[in-house]
Structure formats: C-alpha cells, structure tokens
Chains A and B, each alone.
Chain A
Amino acid sequence: MTYDEKLQAFNDHIAAGGKVEAEDWMPDDYRKGVLKFIEMHANSEIMGALPEREVLPSAPTLKRKMSLCAKIQDEVGHAQLLYRVAEDLGKPRDAMVSDLVNGRSKFHNVFHYPVRHWGDAALIGWLIDGAALVTQASLRDSSYAPYTRVLKRICAEEQLHLRHGEDITLELASGSEHQRWMFQDALDRWWLAIIHFFGPRSNPEKDLLLRWKVKTETNENLRQEFLDRYVPKILELGFTIPAPVPYLDEASGHWLINDEDIDWEPLEGIKRNDGPETARRLAQRKAMYDDHRWVRDAMTEPVGV
C-alpha cells in the first residue's frame, strides 16, 4: 500500500467510528497530535496537584485532611496512568517531565492561578473538577483506544472528587458569613478561568484532532454543557456569578454567555506559560526534580546483592 492508500484507509476507519491502538499504523500527524494532547492532560493532572497541595496543610478537620490528600493522590495517579499512555506513542516519561518542569510544554490554564483559602478547595473540587469531567467524559469516545480505557477509570474517580468538592461547597454555603464569603471570593477569582478552560470556539475545518475524532466535541458545546449543569446549582446556593455573566435563554432553555462578553486576554499570557503562578510552580517542581535525580536513579537501577 502506498502512503496515500494507507492514509485513506485510516481516514475511512475513523469516519466509520473505528478505534486506533498504539501498535496500529497511524499518520504522523495523528500520532503527534494525540501525544501532545495526552501529554498536556498528564501535565495538567500533576500540575493540578500543586494548587490544592497549598491548602492541604491547613485543612480544617481530620476528615477533610484525609479526603483532600486522597483527592490529590488520585490526580497524581492519573498523571501516572496518562504518561504511560503517552509513552507508548514514543516519548519517554522522563522527557515529558523534563519538558514540563523546564517550561517547554503546556498544562491547563486553571492551574496557573493562585489559591488563597479553603474556598479554593471547594471551588476546585466542585467546579474545576466538574469542568474537567465534562471534557473527559466526552473523550471516553475518543478514536484513540488506549486513552479511552484510562479515561474510564479517571472519570469514575473524578465523580468522587466532584462529590468531595460539592460536599465542601455545601458546608460553606450553609455555614457562617465568613464561610459563604470564602466560596464567593473563590468564585469571583476563578469564574473567567473556568470559562477559558474549554477554550475559544473550535474550528472543525482546521482542528485535526476533531476531524480524526480524537476530540469528540467542540469547545463551545462542552462549555455549554458545563453552564447548563452548574449555573443553576451555583445560583440555587445563593452565590453571585461574576462576568462573564450567564443568562437563561427562555426559548432554548440554555444558560448562555455571549462570545463578546468573554475577555480572552488573560489566557494569552498563560498560553506562553506566563500566568500569575506559572513561574513559581514550575520552579518548585523543577527544583524538586533536579535535586532528586538520585531518587530516580535508585528507582531504575537494579538492586544488587
């Protein structure tokens, strides 16, 4: 078969809803695109541990201290699973971690922001994990089969995180004035970043990952699903959603945000790895990585007698 014939057969296979395994033939652009996508997902899981670890030491009860620790542990475990899937596409984990800590690769926008107090633990657990779950649930139908298999496990655990986050939020919502303030303050600081999380409108003509069904939904559809699911709940708890403010479109029943109300400017810096906390968090992880090379050496070296 010529390359063009192989490519045609691959495209037909995808168009018919077929899946791709690591050892199957695939166009280079597919391999590179999937690798980059999963690598960014893995990076995001491990960088996502950092904001929450900052509130872990002051968790207010024994139960919360354990459950938040367990939750962050899950995120790190997800990174471990995802790096393994990415490795099979041809890039060793150490190279991925090295690229991450040296600022050569990307991670999700929401993990570039600071945390201030326990309200952030509630918000991250509920709304950011909620947003991630909307995206990840859609990816369970991705054309890259190894990714879908780990996503099934990841989504099951994310469901638990969502409950953990919702539970903390409900305690704050029904608590003292200060506790209610904590969640509102977190919401005020994080809302725009959550809207950015889904990305600008997709361009299906240009987006290879959509065409090859690695991604199964457009960014705007995923954002819409999130808004319809969470906006009523946030309002029901009596919190106020800051700009960009969603409104209920009576005709469609959807909670909408007008495109022109979204300020994309803050996302530009983050795309260059220049967000409010990017440098500090990457430097922390890099220091940890560089100072402990001997640990990795000891892990990989066979034990002598």
Chain B
Amino acid sequence: MTSALVPLLLALGDDELVLGHRHSEWTGWAPHIEEDVAFSSIAQDEIGHAAAYYALASKHLDRTPDEIAFGRSPGEYRNALVCERPNGDWAFTLARHWFYDHAEELRLGSLEGSSDPALAGLATKMRREERYHLLHADMWLKRLAHGPMEGRSKLVEALGNAYADALALFDDIEGEDQALKEGLMTTSSAELRARYQTSITEHLDSVGLSIDAAPHDAEFVASSSGDLIETGENGTSSSRPESSGGRDGVHTKDFDELWEVMTLRYREDPKATW
C-alpha cells in the first residue's frame, strides 16, 4: 500500500460527500420543481462518487465505506471548506456548484493519468457524469448573467462570496509531495489552481463577468475586457486564510453541525445494519 493514496482518496471523497450532503438539503423544497429534481440528481452522483472513493480507500484501511463516511470524528474529514458552507440562498448554491464542478473537471482530468489504475479508471468514469453537472452549472451561469437584474446581481454577489473558498479546493493535500513522486497525482495542486483561475476567468469573461480584485476581497463586475485576476508572487493567487484548513481537518462550526446531523443515525449503533 502507498501511504499517500489514502489521504488523497479521503480528500476527494470527503469533498464529494459533504457537498453531496449540502446539495441534498435542497431535495424536496428547492425553489423550482425542475431544479429540485436536478439538484437531487447531482447530490446522488456526488454521494455515489464519495462511496466509490471510500471503497478504494477501504481496501487500505480496516474500515468499510460507511465507517469512513459516518464513523470518523470531525477533525478526520479532509474536505475543503467550500463544500461545508451552508446552502444559503439559491444564488450561493449555484455559484458554489459552478465553481466546484469546474474545479472537479480539472482535478479529474489530471487524475485520469494517475499511476493507480483503480483511481485513474474511476476518474474517467466520474468525469463522464460530471460533464452533465458542468452543463447544468454553465447553463445557469449564462442564464443568470444574461437574465433579469435581480438574479444577475445575486449571482455576482454569490460568486464573490464563494471565490476564495473555491480556490482553497486546491490547497495542498496531505502527503502531496509523495503522491506526486509516486505519480498518484500527475499535477500539483498549485499548478491546478493556476489553470483553474485561467479557466474560470475565461468562462466568466464569456458571459460578461470578470474578477477584478484579489480573491481576499474578490468582486465580480460586468466587463467584456477580460480583466486579469490580480496574481500573487508565484503567479497564482492563494486562498485566503479563512478559506483554508479543510485539507488539514480544521473545519468551521457549520461543519460540526452538519457532522452531528449526518452521522446521527450511524453513531447511535455503528454495528447495526440498515
């Protein structure tokens, strides 16, 4: 077994589980019936992906996928904080969905070349499903950016609120140097973040929005000039401190609440079958 594989799988799986959980909080009362159906579908995909990552991890840990999902203490989860933020309103949900699925696209693309054949195969399979999430997210971005003023301003505000958190999806993963050396990861998180910023800047520009400030006080404004994102010394922006920590198991109060609810039934009787 490789020591870097498990932390990598947990970071990937925890992102999917926690975001899938948040998405599923819309199930049954989303603001629009068609979107209720769509978000439930996306939620199931994400939770299914978490289950698949945990199934790979469980081969190296003496734990079942359910034990990994529900039987850990909050500090053992490695999801990025963006996944655990409360849903807030629909605009924030959509902004996060858009940021996350674009990040996911890049991350899975790089994992397709992983030296671990099971992980590489999984990445290819998931990427096919994620494509629909991306279409859905892009459709909404375009619709709101070009739609009535109220929706557009809500979107702009929500993008600003989620941006720094989204960059922290590419904070280093525990054991990353080792994972790169072993070829489990083909691209460093820092490099992926740089590509990510280029990619989302282009996408936003294509709908007439651009980021014209550093992420710590990111503001999205109408522009067709494609203003560049202000960059840090190494050519990429880093995430702001309060957006980071998730990859090291340092979470927010919101996560503690989510964890209480998500693991409630499981913790009552971990030996039971359900």
Contacts and interface: CB of A to CB of B under 8 A. Distances in A.
Interface of A: 46, 49-50, 52-53, 56-66, 69-70, 72-73, 75-77, 79-80, 83, 117-118, 168, 171, 175-176, 178-179, 284-285, 288-289, 291-292, 294-299, 301, 303-305
B24 A298 contact: no
14 contacts: A60-B274, A61-B70, A69-B47, A75-B28, A80-B34, A80-B37, A284-B29, A291-B31, A291-B89, A292-B32, A292-B89, A297-B147, A297-B150, A303-B143
Contacts of B193: none
Contacts of B89: 291-292
A295 B154 CA distance: 10
B273 A175 contact: yes
Given A73-B44, A118-B265, A292-B31, 9 more contacts: A49-B29, A53-B28, A62-B69, A72-B27, A284-B29, A292-B32, A298-B143, A298-B151, A303-B146
B272 interface: yes
B166 to A, nearest CB: 21
Contacts of B28: 46, 49-50, 52-53, 56, 72, 75-76
A299 to B, nearest CB: 6
B50 interface: yes
B233 interface: no
A165 B241 CA distance: 45
A65 to B, nearest CB: 6
A66 B44 contact: yes
Contact of B272 (A49, A62, A79, A179): A179
A57 B266 CA distance: 11
Interface of B: 21, 24-25, 27-37, 40-41, 43-44, 47-48, 50-51, 54, 65-66, 69-70, 89-90, 142-144, 146-148, 150-151, 154, 261-266, 268-269, 272-274
Contact of A62 (B33, B65, B150): B65
Contacts of A73: 27, 36-37, 40-41, 44
The prevalent SS among residues of A at the interface is: helix
A284 B70 CA distance: 28
Given A61-B274, A69-B24, A76 B33 contact: yes
Nearest to B266: A60
Contacts of A171: 273-274
B265 A292 contact: no
Contact of B148 (A56, A69, A70, A298): A298
A294 B148 contact: yes
A284 B274 CA distance: 30
A77 B35 CA distance: 10
Nearest to B263: A58
B33 A80 contact: yes
Nearest to B69: A62
A297 B148 contact: yes
Nearest to A304: B146
Contacts of B51: 62-63, 66
Nearest to B24: A69
B26 to A, nearest CB: 9
Nearest to B262: A57
B31 A72 contact: no
Contacts of B150: 294, 297
Nearest to A167: B274
Given A62-B50, A303-B147, A178 B261 contact: no
A45 to B, nearest CB: 10
A146 to B, nearest CB: 18
A118 to B, nearest CB: 6
A297 to B, nearest CB: 5
B272 A69 contact: no
Between A64, A66, A304, the greatest number of chain B beta carbons within 10 A of the residue's beta carbon is seen for A66
A83 B29 contact: no
A303 B142 CA distance: 8
B29 A69 contact: no
B138 to A, nearest CB: 12
A256 to B, nearest CB: 35
Nearest to A97: B33
Between B29, B146, B273, the greatest number of chain A beta carbons within 10 A of the residue's beta carbon is seen for B29
A11 to B, nearest CB: 36
Contacts of A70: 40, 44
A274 B28 CA distance: 21
A292 B90 CA distance: 8
Given A60-B266, A83-B33, A65 B151 contact: no
B21 A57 contact: yes
Given A61-B66, A61-B266, A69 B274 contact: no
A79 B33 contact: yes
Contacts of A304: 146-147
Given A62-B47, A69-B24, A288 B31 contact: yes
Nearest to A79: B33
B167 to A, nearest CB: 27
A9 B25 CA distance: 51
Between A50, A291, A292, the greatest number of chain B beta carbons within 10 A of the residue's beta carbon is seen for A292
Given A62-B54, A303-B143, A295 B32 contact: yes
